[in-house]
C-alpha cells in the first residue's frame, strides 16, 4: 500500500509541470482578481490579407468574429500573456509593427482600442495611433503574435465546478487504503 501511495504521489508531482500555453477551460485571473476561463486563441496574421481600406478589428471584435458573441451580459477578455489575463492584444499597424510580438520588448495595446479612428479602414499610418487590427495579415512580424481569448467565468454556459484532480486522486487513494485496512 505504501508503494502504491508513493507511486501515486510521485506521478501527481511529475504531472504538475507548467505548460507553455493556456489550458482550455482553465481559470485565470486578471489584475482585479476577476476569474476568466480560457476558450482559445488566434494569431494576428490568421486574419484576411491587408488591402487599402481593409477591415480593422480590435481584440474584442476579433474574438467575437472568431468565437461568436458572448452570452447575454457576458464579456470577452484578451491577453498577450499565456498565464495571466492582462487585457492587452497584439495589433498589426498600417506601416507599423511596434505592437506585435517580435521578442524584442514590444507591448500590446488595450483589447478594445478604437482601431480605426478616422473610419476609412486599414489605410492610415500618419501621426498618432493610426489604423491597427488584431486580425489581419500584413507584416511577417505578426506570425508569432498570439492573442489569448477568455470569457468571464460566470459566462461559461453549463459550467459545473469540478474538484481538482489531485483532490479526487487523494480521495481515491484514501478509499483504497480504508478498503485494504478493513480486509486485514
Q: pTM for this structure? A: 0.69
Q: Give domain status of residue 11, yes or no.
A: no
User: CB within 8 A of 43, min separation 6: which ones?
Assistant: 142, 143, 144, 145, 146, 147
**Confidence at residue 142, expressed as pLDDT on a 0 to 100 scale:** 81
Q: How far, in Å, are 37, 40, 75, 152, 161 from residue 26 at the CA level?
A: 6, 11, 17, 12, 11
| Residue 174 domain boundaries | 23-178
Q: Give domain status of residue 96, yes or no.
A: yes
Question: Which run of H or of E encompasses 67?
Answer: helix 59-67
**Confidence at residue 16, expressed as pLDDT on a 0 to 100 scale:** 45
> How many domains in the chain?
1
**Confidence at residue 72, expressed as pLDDT on a 0 to 100 scale:** 86
**Confidence at residue 19, expressed as pLDDT on a 0 to 100 scale:** 42
CB 173 within 8 A of CB 3: no
Mean pLDDT by runs of 10 across the 184 residues of the chain is 50 45 85 93 91 84 95 91 92 80 73 82 67 87 89 64 60 74 69
User: What residues form DSSP beta bridges with 121?
Assistant: none
The Cα–Cα gap between 65 and 161 comes to 28
Question: Which run of H or of E encompasses 66?
Answer: helix 59-67
Q: Give domain status of residue 50, yes or no.
A: yes
Amino acid at each position: 500500500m505504501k508503494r502504491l501511495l508513493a507511486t501515486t504521489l510521485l506521478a501527481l508531482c511529475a504531472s504538475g509541470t507548467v505548460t507553455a500555453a493556456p489550458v482550455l477551460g482553465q481559470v485565470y485571473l486578471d489584475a482585479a482578481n476577476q476569474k476568466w476561463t480560457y476558450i482559445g486563441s488566434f494569431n494576428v496574421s490568421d486574419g484576411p490579407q491587408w488591402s487599402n481600406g481593409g477591415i480593422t478589428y480590435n481584440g474584442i471584435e476579433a474574438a467575437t468574429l472568431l468565437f461568436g458573441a458572448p452570452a447575454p451580459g457576458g464579456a470577452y477578455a484578451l491577453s498577450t500573456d499565456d498565464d495571466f489575463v492582462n487585457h492587452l492584444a497584439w495589433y498589426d499597424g498600417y506601416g507599423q509593427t511596434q505592437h506585435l510580438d517580435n521578442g524584442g520588448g514590444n507591448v500590446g495595446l488595450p483589447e478594445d482600442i478604437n482601431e480605426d479612428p478616422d473610419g476609412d479602414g486599414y489605410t492610415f499610418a500618419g501621426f498618432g495611433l493610426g489604423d491597427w487590427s488584431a486580425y489581419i495579415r500584413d507584416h511577417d512580424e505578426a506570425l508569432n503574435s498570439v492573442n489569448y481569448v477568455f470569457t468571464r467565468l460566470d459566462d461559461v454556459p453549463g459550467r459545473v465546478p469540478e474538484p481538482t484532480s489531485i483532490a479526487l486522486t487523494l480521495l481515491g487513494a484514501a478509499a483504497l487504503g480504508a478498503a485494504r485496512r478493513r480486509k486485514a
